[in-house]
């Protein structure tokens, strides 16, 4: 049975194929989209790009190639493992399932065509490309839960409950909140069940839920006359929080329900912000620009994940760190490609890149 020492040795070999910063700069400096594509073809993405170019052109071909490459990467890592290591890796990949389900739900709610939804999917998780395309092709949301249930997917029940409410209210948030809460509940319970090997993953899931709660609370604070019960609806628990102001991994995270409610109210926001500081949340000054603040938090999470690569050589840390670096690289290449397509200034694209 392969252990983490074997799996991590294979992942380290994959790490050597990531592009150095100088190569990204060369691609960023390409004068045109054609020049960018020519440069990308000379990287480890070349074979995926050539295949994509046989069916698509320009930006669509680049997106297809990057998506396929990331998908092959996660499938390769999963293929190295079985037993407990495989269960942990599958749990790590569940975050891509959540992201893809969000894309499909939002696309259906907005009335987007199936092809447009498919282009936005990144089938790097446990849900494969065929299944995701099938779900993107449904005329509405009602078929999603049945497909997930047939796969015994851990988010199936949440999808069913959210869609049932959505059919009546047409409130997209009912589906998204159901999925987010189910993801946090399931991922953390499984991580605890899998023991010490899952500690790094558990900490990362809790940190991501904390960040999501802070973003949501700040947005809610700008909505006038929103009752406490309405605001409470948007809170995502991170484990065994008891509703008090206790913090830390054992309590389920920094952002408790009480802190969330205080942060989402203009009357108590200042004091709540100070409590965030005391509990070690990665914030400095109260944000004047929510968009910039959210980007700062996302970058902090990405950097923390990438740092895991230097962690336990006999655990999940190296895989977490490598996938964070790989995801950032793919995101940066997408940004560069769009910059070429839209003829954006190089410095503007560089400012949006995720440097981990």
**pLDDT tens-digit map of 322-334:** 999 999 999 999 9
Q: Which of 193, 212, 236 is the endpoint of a domain?
A: 193
Same domain for 48 and 141, yes or no, is no
Does the pLDDT value for residue 161 go beyond 90? yes
Q: Distance (Å, rounded) from C-alpha 125 to C-alpha 142?
A: 22
Same domain for 14 and 25, yes or no, is yes
Q: Distance (Å, rounded) from C-alpha 347 to C-alpha 335?
A: 12
Cα of first residue to Cα of last residue in the chain, in angstroms, is 33
Res 156: pLDDT: 96
Same domain for 102 and 57, yes or no, is no
* Nearest in space to 37 (alpha carbons), one of 14, 71, 60: 60
Question: What is the average pLDDT across 310-319?
Answer: 93
Does the pLDDT value for residue 239 go beyond 90? no
Question: Cα 117–119–125 angle (5° rounding)?
Answer: 90
User: Do the Cβ atoms of 59 and 50 come closer than 8 Å?
Assistant: no
In the chain, how many domains are there? 3
Does the pLDDT value for residue 245 go beyond 50? no
Query: Does residue 213 fall inside a structural domain?
Result: yes
DSSP string, 164-193: HHHHHH--HHHHHHHHHHHHHHHHHHHHHH
Please state whether 226 falls in left (phi above 0), alpha (psi between -120 and 50) or beta.
beta
Q: Distance (Å, rounded) from C-alpha 250 to C-alpha 235?
A: 18
Q: Distance (Å, rounded) from C-alpha 210 to C-alpha 227?
A: 22
Query: Does residue 294 fall inside a structural domain?
Result: no
Does the pLDDT value for residue 310 go beyond 70? yes
Res 181: pLDDT: 94
Same domain for 344 and 264, yes or no, is no
* Nearest in space to 51 (alpha carbons), one of 43, 36, 62: 62
Percent of the chain, pLDDT > 90?
79
Question: What is the average pLDDT across 318-324?
Answer: 97
Q: Distance (Å, rounded) from C-alpha 81 to C-alpha 2?
A: 6
Same domain for 71 and 140, yes or no, is no
Query: Does residue 354 fall inside a structural domain?
Result: yes
Structure tokens at 176: 């998204």
In the Cβ-directed half-sphere of 247, how many Cα atoms lie within 13 Å?
Answer: 16
Same domain for 106 and 188, yes or no, is yes
What is the CATH number for 169? 1.20.1690.10
Query: Does residue 276 fall inside a structural domain?
Result: yes
Query: Hunting for tokens 């499909």 — which residue is that?
Result: 104
- Per DSSP, the chain holds a count of helices (H) and strands (E) of 18, 0
Same domain for 114 and 186, yes or no, is yes
Query: Does residue 112 fall inside a structural domain?
Result: yes
Same domain for 202 and 240, yes or no, is yes
Question: Cα 193–15–97 angle (5° rounding)?
Answer: 45
Query: Does residue 298 fall inside a structural domain?
Result: no
Question: What is the average pLDDT across 205-228?
Answer: 92
What average pLDDT is seen over the chain?
A: 91
Q: The domain containing residue 279 runs over which residues? A: 196-286
Same domain for 187 and 207, yes or no, is no
Residue 212 DSSP code: H
Question: What is the average pLDDT across 208-227?
Answer: 92
Query: Does residue 306 fall inside a structural domain?
Result: no
Query: Does residue 307 fall inside a structural domain?
Result: no
Same domain for 259 and 353, yes or no, is no
Same domain for 103 and 55, yes or no, is no
Residue range 91-116, pLDDT digits in tens: 999 999 999 999 999 999 999 999 99
Q: Which of 286, 302, 323 is the endpoint of a domain?
A: 286
In the Cβ-directed half-sphere of 305, how many Cα atoms lie within 13 Å?
Answer: 25
Q: Distance (Å, rounded) from C-alpha 137 to C-alpha 131?
A: 10
Res 1: pLDDT: 60
Residue range 47-89, pLDDT digits in tens: 999 999 999 999 999 999 999 999 999 999 999 999 999 999 9
Q: Which of 131, 164, 193 is the endpoint of a domain?
A: 193
Res 242: pLDDT: 37
Question: What is the average pLDDT across 243-253?
Answer: 49
Higher pLDDT, residue 143 or 251 = 143
Q: Distance (Å, rounded) from C-alpha 172 to C-alpha 283?
A: 30
DSSP string, 296-325: HHHHHHHHHHHHGGGS-TTSSHHHHHHHHH
Same domain for 56 and 93, yes or no, is no
Does the pLDDT value for residue 240 go beyond 60? no
In the Cβ-directed half-sphere of 158, how many Cα atoms lie within 13 Å?
Answer: 21
Please report which confidence band the pLDDT of residue 281 belongs to, taking 50, 70 and 90 as the band edges: confident
């Amino acid at each position: 049975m392969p252990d983490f020492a074997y799996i991590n040795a294979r992942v380290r070999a994959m790490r050597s194929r990531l592009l150095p910063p100088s190569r990204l700069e060369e691609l960023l400096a390409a004068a045109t989209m054609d020049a960018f594509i020519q440069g990308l073809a000379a990287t480890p993405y070349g074979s995926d790009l050539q295949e994509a170019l046989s069916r698509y052109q320009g930006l669509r071909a680049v997106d297809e190639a990057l998506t396929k490459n990331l998908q092959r990467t996660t499938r390769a890592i999963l293929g190295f493992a079985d037993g407990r290591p495989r269960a942990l890796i599958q749990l790590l990949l569940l975050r891509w399932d959540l992201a893809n389900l969000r894309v499909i739900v939002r696309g259906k709610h907005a009335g987007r065509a199936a092809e447009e939804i498919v282009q936005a999917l990144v089938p790097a998780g446990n849900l494969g490309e065929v299944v995701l395309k099938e779900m993107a092709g449904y005329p509405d949301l009602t078929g999603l839960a049945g497909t997930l249930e047939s796969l015994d997917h851990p988010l199936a029940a949440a999808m069913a409950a959210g869609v049932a409410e959505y059919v009546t209210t047409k409130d997209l948030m009912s589906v998204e909140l159901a999925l987010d809460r189910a993801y946090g509940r399931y991922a953390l319970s499984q991580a605890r069940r899998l023991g010490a090997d899952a500690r790094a993953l558990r900490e990362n899931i809790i940190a991501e839920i904390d960040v999501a709660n802070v973003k949501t609370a700040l947005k809610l604070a700008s909505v006038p006359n929103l009752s406490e019960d309405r605001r409470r609806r948007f809170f995502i628990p991170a484990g065994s929080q008891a509703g008090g102001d206790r913090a830390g991994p054992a309590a389920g995270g920094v952002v408790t329900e009480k802190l969330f409610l205080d942060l989402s109210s203009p009357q108590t926001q200042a004091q709540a912000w100070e409590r965030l500081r005391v509990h070690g949340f990665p914030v400095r000054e109260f944000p004047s620009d929510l968009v910039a603040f959210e980007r700062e938090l996302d970058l902090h999470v990405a950097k923390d994940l990438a740092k895991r690569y230097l962690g336990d050589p006999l655990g999940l840390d190296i895989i977490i760190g490598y996938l964070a670096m790989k995801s950032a690289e793919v995101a940066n290449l997408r940004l560069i490609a769009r910059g070429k397509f839209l003829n954006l200034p190089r410095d503007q694209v560089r400012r949006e890149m995720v440097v981990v």
